[in-house]
Every structure is written in structure tokens, then in C-alpha cells.
Amino acid sequence: MQLERPAPSAPPVLADLYGGQRVVVTGARGFLGRAVCAQLDRAGATVLPLGRAELDLLDRSAVKARLRALRPEVVVHCAVDGGGLGWMRDHPVESGLNNVLINVHVLEGAHEAGARAFLGAGSACAYPRICPVPFVEDDLWQGYPEPTNGPYAQSKRVLLDLCRAYHAQHGFFAMTPLLANLYGPGDHLDPGRAHVVAALLQRVIRLPAGAPLEVWGTGTPTRELLYIDDAAEGLLSCLALSEPAVLNLGTGMEHSIAALAQAVLDAADHSGALVFDPTKPDGQPRKCLSTARAEALLGWRARTPLAEGLRAAVTWYRAAEPPR
């Protein structure tokens, strides 16, 4: 693959990109949104947070009116109606329809409000279920996503293609980089909506000493894990590009669910064994992103080792989990 320009010597400095800028963050009370707001605060931006309490993103007119009133220079869209594999399987309509509407309303509203840029949080789940590993951006459209969360994945594809369309037709800088599975402090406390790492962590910290950890599925599928602060930094760094691009943000490291579950046990200093439940869905067989394009175009790499990130997450969960 021929690269558009040489690799920069260092990743972007967020203060240079966002200092003094008015930045709307949707989903600002959520997992990724809080981390994005924290990074923007440190960069000297004027952060304009929008959560569910401030705005119903399913209301198109309300979204347009609020964004016009806020006059953002940049909109960072982190809001999502989603959850873990079980929630996606049981709520295909909400995970597809609601996210398509939310994404379209915010992208449309950002452009009409006069923002100079839109950054949306995409997902590696948009890749085909069967795809060469590591996932390369050019393979995104080569098949249907994992059916268990197909409608949600398709909503991410719709947003990505509409970003391309807004740039092509209006010259609007709009892009939605594809993020690996996120984990870290601040993740879901609701077991019904927790993704793989959050679900495992919550089970581990509730276990009696030496009790086994139950793991959904066979343990053979693989996942790539991206620490939350790295994800926020990578997403915001995309504003440094000269033009929007389809771009993976991850670590480029693949872990089986079994190995990940063992790493969670180790991070929590729990001595119990692993017990797998093959009656539960495995989801996509393999997930691992190629990070070559992000490194070449942005000079950006994830910095947090998995063991370090898991230890930080365990500490946070133990403090956040109410006593039982």
C-alpha cells in the first residue's frame, strides 16, 4: 500500500490541535466520552459536554438546535446505544436503528452548525466476520460483520461512509476511526451492558478466594484490547491529518479470550481456575487490527501494556463496586 505522506517523527500534540477551541463531546458521561473530555481539558480546549441529561440525540431537531447554539469548532461524537455481546444479540433493533439515528443527527448537526471538523468513534466490529488478520482498512467492505452484533456494526459503517460523503461533497473534515475493544478505569458497572474485559473484571472481584471464573464461550476467539486513555488520545490525534482517512486505532496485538481471562485473574491476584461455558456465544472468531496506517500517517502508537492497564482497571473496579 502506498502511503499518502511520510511518517511524522512524533505523534500530534493535542494542545496544538485543540488549545482555545470550542469542542462539543457527545456521550460525555460515558466511558470513552469522559476520557476524551479529560484529554481536551489538559489540551486547553473549551469543552462543551453533552450527555443524556442534556440532550436526546434521537431528536433530530433538538440536536441541530443545540449544536447551533453551542457553536462548536470541533464535534467529537462518543455517544452510543450499546453494550456487550449478549445485549447486542438481544437488542438488534436498538443497537442498529438507534445508533444510525444518533450518528446521522450529530454528523448532520455538526456540519450545519458550522463546525470545522467532526470525529466519531468507530469500532473494529465493523470489519467482516471472516477477514484476513490483522485487519487492514482496505478490507473493511469485503463481507458482512459478525451477525451477533451485525446491526450495530452496520451503523458504524453507515457513519463512516457518510463521513466520506460529507468530505467529498462539502469539504467537511469528518472521519470515524475504527477502535479496538476498549478497557480500563471507568468502564461499565452494568453487567448487562459490559464488554468482555469489564464483564470479566466484575466477575473476578466478586469471587470468593480460589473460586473459578466463568468465561463465556470456548475461550478460543481472539480480541485486541485498547486502553481507554490511549483510545481517547488516538481519536483526538486524527484532527492532525491533512484530510480524513479510514484508520485503525489499536495495539496490533491479539489475545485469545482464554489468555485474556487469565491475565484478568493475574491482575486481580486471584488464584481460581477458568471455566468456559460453550453454550454462550463466542462472537467474531478473531479480531486484531493493523496499526501500520496510523503509525505512518500520525506517528501514533498505543502506549499502555495490557498488564498495566488491567491492574489500573482492577483498582478502579474495586473502588467503584458497591459492597455486597
Q: List Cα–Cα distances, 266 to 162, 260, 311, in angstroms.
A: 43, 10, 9
In a domain, 210, yes or no: no
For residues 143-157, average pLDDT: 94
User: Do residues 143 and 128 touch, judged by C-beta distance below 8 A?
Assistant: yes
Q: Is 57 domain-assigned? A: yes
Q: Would residue 152 count as lying in a domain? A: yes
**Please, what is the Cα angle at 40 between 34 and 42, to 5 degrees?**
105
Distance of alpha carbon 102 from alpha carbon 162, whole angstroms:
13
Q: What is the pLDDT of residue 217?
A: 92
Q: Which of 232, 179, 273, 307 shows the shortest CA–CA distance to 315?
A: 307
Domains: count for the chain = 1
User: Would residue 200 count as lying in a domain?
Assistant: no
pLDDT of residue 322: 54
pLDDT at 299 over 80: yes
Catalytic residue among 18, 127, 152, 227: 152
Indicate whether 320 belongs to any domain.
no
* Domain boundaries, position 105: 18-182+226-252+288-302
Q: What is the DSSP letter of 9?
A: S
- Is the per-residue pLDDT at 3 higher than 70? no
Please tell me the number of Cα atoms within 13 Å of 109 on its side-chain side.
29
152 part of the active site? yes
CATH of the domain at 149: 3.40.50.720
Beta bridge partners of 48: 24
Residues in Cβ contact with 63 at an 8 Å cutoff, skipping those fewer than 6 apart: 55, 57, 105, 106, 108, 109
**pLDDT band at 230; cut points 50, 70, 90:** very high
In a domain, 221, yes or no: no
For 185-224, how does the pLDDT look when each residue is reduced to its tens digit (9 = 90+)? 998 777 666 778 888 998 899 999 999 999 989 999 999 9
- pTM here? 0.92
Does a structural domain hold residue 56? yes
Q: What is the pLDDT of residue 82?
A: 74
Inside any domain, residue 199: no
pLDDT in tens, 239-263: 999 999 999 999 999 999 999 999 9
Which DSSP helix (H) or strand (E) runs through 226?
A: strand 225-227
Residue 179 and residue 236 in contact, taking contact as beta carbons nearer than 8 Å: no
At 178, is the secondary structure helix, strand, or coil? Answer: strand
| 18-49 tens-digit pLDDT | 999 999 999 999 999 999 999 999 999 999 99
Q: Which amino acid is at 77?
A: H
Q: Where are the alpha helices (DSSP H) in 133-220?
A: 150-170, 196-206
